[in-house]
Amino acid sequence: MKTEFMRVEKIIIEFIRTTVEKAGAKGGIIGLSGGIDSAVVAALACKALGSSNVHGYFIPSSVTPSEDEDHVKELTTKLGMSFEIIPLDDLLEQYKTLLNPETTSNNMAWANLMPRVRQALLYFKASELNSLVLGTSNKSELMIGYFTKFGDSAADLAPIGDLYKQEVNDLAKHLEIPASIITKAPSAGLWPGQTDEEELGFSYKELDEILEALESFQTVDQVHEKTGIAKETISRVVKLIRLNEHKRRPPLTLKLGYRSPGHDWRVPFFT
Amino acid sequence: MVLLRVALGQMSSLPANPDANLKIIEGMCERAQEDNVDLIIFPELSVTGYLMHDEVFNLAEKIPEGNLTQKLRKIANRTNVSILAGLPEKERPGVLYNSAVFVQPNSETYTTRKILLPNHSVFNEKRYFKPAEEIKTTPSPWGGLGVQICYDLFSPEISRFHALNGSPLLICLSASPGVRQQLFESFIKARAAENASFLIYVNQAGVQDDLIFWGGSEVCDPSGKQLLKLKYDEPDYGVVEIDLSQVDRTRTFIPTIRDAPGWIYTDLKEAQARR
């Protein structure tokens, strides 16, 4: 994967800086997980906005590995930015009392609640500090829908949303993100010991090879020939892309009028 | 009398799901067979679905060799009903057309390519398709068919060409969402009456993603009188028997095609160049 990192870094920094400026905002809000994606966004945001204008929030729950906090500390110290810890468990307990987990056997509903509550907290801080929420989703997870709708994907801008995980890794090295963050196994932190690659059933390396080939209009057979990855895996990725379009787009607005929001009533994002 | 029994297969195609759509098409063809129908017409891009977005690149095929066209042929053979349906055509690498295929029980196949590709409002057809470079009337056992696709109906020259070329029957395959209903319903009557031709309009119907296709397929006779109207907003099926010799009588009564002032087309071309 060839990415001209110097140039990509410069362009993303410019994107963050101008978007925050045009929105009339003062800074950026980032949910820091201790993982590589939020670390890269934080590093880019500090360069774009100045580290005093970037506010990090580490929002752990009981299933968050303790090392994650160390990684966040290491990162923020290096970047010279402040961060705050907001423990999530008390809030989640309130939800549990209210929603009665005994009657809810759907684990995914509980797993998705955490990122949604986190994002609600981040948006509170964004209002309070007149700042924009910087998304940390990458292209690999966006394409296969490996994120929580209105959860971790909810943001005002997605600076690394068009970079595959492997490209984020390479950019992280270029940005000199601490090695402890780069080398640890990616995890959505949904339950203790969870790793993305184990849950997905394929590695990010395989996923990115598949996605890159599909992106350039190759068929399942062609991707298989090129990468040697099993056709079943490739077909699963194709299926995930299709199943999750609803997560990537704003809610469907049924067109009834002459010009309609989200369809054909289009105005400039900024003036 | 030249009697022709036509069925209108107003369907709600599933986006990028030709297997499911071909099942619907096959079911309607079987029903048409029971109704002794000669020709059944389905909407624009009925085989693949209209809102397939980038999946079109995987679904478009060479006609008639392609898999989907071959399946339509088999259905036509088995049910002894001629089929007119819409699907994306891949003429050569990178060149796609929004096409309609006319498949007869004896496997004879003709293709019509869409001329006017909308790229305004919710439409994005120029992203995917090339406009047709020529206009041809489709030969059939019942005379020339003036096949056109959706937005083509907004350009009256297309219907006029087919009528001048001897076609008694204009056919429009459509995938029209809500707000254009009034325009289409005006044009259907106008194109039929001004060309003294039958006009059959078949639309997609029902909510697909964030659009509502309004259905309302209809048949008009050469005087502009409505002979059949299908339901709005939901799939439907209807059969009509038309007497093509009525075209002769109507053109005797109001000879619009005889009187069409040919010299205007020269001026029209010049005016168009100045547009």
Distance from CA of B122 to the nearest CA of A (A): 6
Can you name the residues that pair with B47 across neighbouring β-strands?
none
CA distance B63 to chain A (A): 20
- What is the Cα–Cα distance from B69 to B47, expressed in whole angstroms? 9
Architecture of domain B3-273: 4-Layer Sandwich (3.60)
Chain A contacts of B179, Cβ < 8 Å?
Answer: 255-258
Answer for the pair B142, B178: CB distance below 8 angstroms, yes or no: no
What pLDDT is recorded for position A105? 61
A255: chain B residues, CB-CB within 8 Å: 122, 177-179, 210-212
Residues of B in contact with A259 (CB under 8 A): 121
- The answer to whether A252 contacts chain B (CB < 8 Å) is yes
Residues of B in contact with A260 (CB under 8 A): 122
Which among A217, A254, A257 is the nearest to B210, CB-wise?
A: A254
CB contact under 8 Å between A257 and B179, yes or no, is: yes
Query: Nearest CA of chain B to the CA of A219: how many Å?
Result: 8
* B54: closest chain A residue by CA: A217
CB contacts, 8 Å: B212 with chain A: 254-256
Residue type at position A18: T
Q: To the nearest 10°, report the CA torsion of A59, A65, A67, A70.
A: 10
Confidence of residue A6 (pLDDT cuts 50, 70, 90): confident
Q: Is A258 in Cβ contact with B210 (below 8 Å)?
A: no
The residue whose two tokens read 């089929």 is B83
Q: Would you call A187 exposed, middle or buried from its count of C-beta atoms within 10 A (0-12, 13-18, 19+)?
A: buried
Indicate the range of A1-15, A20-34, B50-64, B134-148 predicted with least confidence.
A1-15
- Give the bridge partners for B5, in sequence order: B241
In angstroms, what separates the C-alpha of B129 from chain A's closest C-alpha?
Answer: 16
Q: Using alpha carbons only, how large is chain A's radius of gyration in Å?
A: 19
> Mean of the pLDDT values across residues A139-168?
97
pLDDT in tens, B153-170: 999 999 999 999 999 999
Enter the tokens of residue B86: 């819409």
Q: How much is the mean pLDDT over chain A?
A: 93
Neighbours of B38 (CB within 10 A): 19
Give me the phi and psi of B205, to 5 degrees please: -145, 135
Q: Could you give the residue ranges of the DSSP H alpha helices within B90-199?
A: 125-128, 156-164, 181-195
Residues of chain A with pLDDT > 90: what percent? 81
Q: Which positions in chain B touch A219 (Cβ < 8 Å)?
A: 58
- Between CA A30 and CA A155 the distance in angstroms is 9
DSSP strand pairing (B218-220 vs B198-203): antiparallel
- Residue recorded with tokens 């109704």: B35
Token pair of B173, please? Answer: 């395959």
Asked whether residue B185 carries a pLDDT value surpassing 70, the answer given is yes
Structure token digits, residue B178: 């809500």
Whether pLDDT at A103 is above 70: no
* B49 touches A at CB < 8 Å: no
The residue extents of the domains of chain B are 3-273
Determine the pLDDT at residue A104: 60
Return the percentage of chain B with pLDDT > 90, whole number. Answer: 93
Exposed/middle/buried for residue B35 (C-beta within 10 Å: 0-12, 13-18, 19+): middle
Judged by a CB distance cut-off of 8 A, whether residue A246 touches chain B is: no
A254:B212 CB<8 A: yes
Of B68, B73, B13, B8, nearest to B37 (Cα)? Answer: B8
Contacts of A253 in chain B (CB under 8 A): 210
- Lookup: tokens for B209: 């993603």
For residues A38-51, give the mean pLDDT: 98
Sign of the C-alpha dihedral computed for residues B38, B44, B45 and B49 taken in this order: negative
Spatial contact of A69 and A37, defined as CB atoms under 8 Å apart: no
**Separation of alpha carbons B269 and A259, rounded Å:** 33
φ, ψ of residue A237 in degrees (nearest 5): -65, -45
Please name the residue that has the structure tokens 């007119």: B84
Q: Which residues from A are below 8 Å from B121, CB to CB? A: 259, 263-264
* Cβ–Cβ below 8 Å for A255 and B207: no
Distance CA B169, CA B140 (A): 11
ipTM score here?
0.81
Largest CA distance in chain B: 53
Confidence class for position A1, pLDDT limits 50, 70, 90: very low
What are the extents of the domains in chain A?
5-199, 201-271
* Tally of helices (H runs) and strands (E runs) in chain B: 9, 13
Say whether residue A255 is in contact with chain B using an 8 A CB cutoff: yes
Question: Cα–Cα distance between B127 and B210 in angstroms, integer?
Answer: 19
DSSP label at residue B138:
B
Contact across the interface for A254 and B121, Cβ inside 8 Å: no
Tell me the average pLDDT across A30-47: 98
Q: Is residue A168 predicted with pLDDT exceeding 70?
A: yes
B210-240: pLDDT as tens digits? 899 999 999 999 999 999 999 999 999 999 9
Dihedrals phi, psi of B171, to nearest 5 degrees: -130, 130
Whether B182 and chain A come into contact, CB under 8 Å, resolves to no
| CB contacts, 8 Å: A264 with chain B | 120-122
Contact between A255 and B212 using a beta-carbon 8 Å cutoff: yes
Best B52, B179, B232 member to test A by mutation, with max A CBs in 10 Å, is: B179
pLDDT per residue over A106-122, tens digit each? 778 888 999 999 999 99
Instruction: Confirm or reject CATH 3.40.50.620 for domain A5-199, answering yes or no.
Output: yes
Residue A2 has pLDDT above 50, yes or no: no
What is the SS3 string spanning chain A? CCCCHHHHHHHHHHHHHHHHHHCCCCEEEEECCCCHHHHHHHHHHHHHHCHHHEEEEECCCCCCCCHHHHHHHHHHHHHCCEEEECCCHHHHHHHHHHHCHHHCCCHHHHHHHHHHHHHHHHHHHHHHCCEEEECCCCHHHHHHCCCCCCCCCCCCECCCCCCCHHHHHHHHHHCCCCHHHHHCCCCCCCCCCCCHHHHHCCCHHHHHHHHHHHHCCCCHHHHHHHHCCCHHHHHHHHHHHHHCHHHHCCCCCCCCCCCCCCCCCCCCCCC
The whole-chain average pLDDT of chain B stands at: 96
| Model confidence band, residue A3 (pLDDT cutoffs 50, 70, 90) | low
Scan residues 13-32 of B and list those with Cβ closer than 8 Å to A.
16
Burial B4-20 (b: 16+ CB within 10 A, else e): bbbbbbbbbbbbbbbee
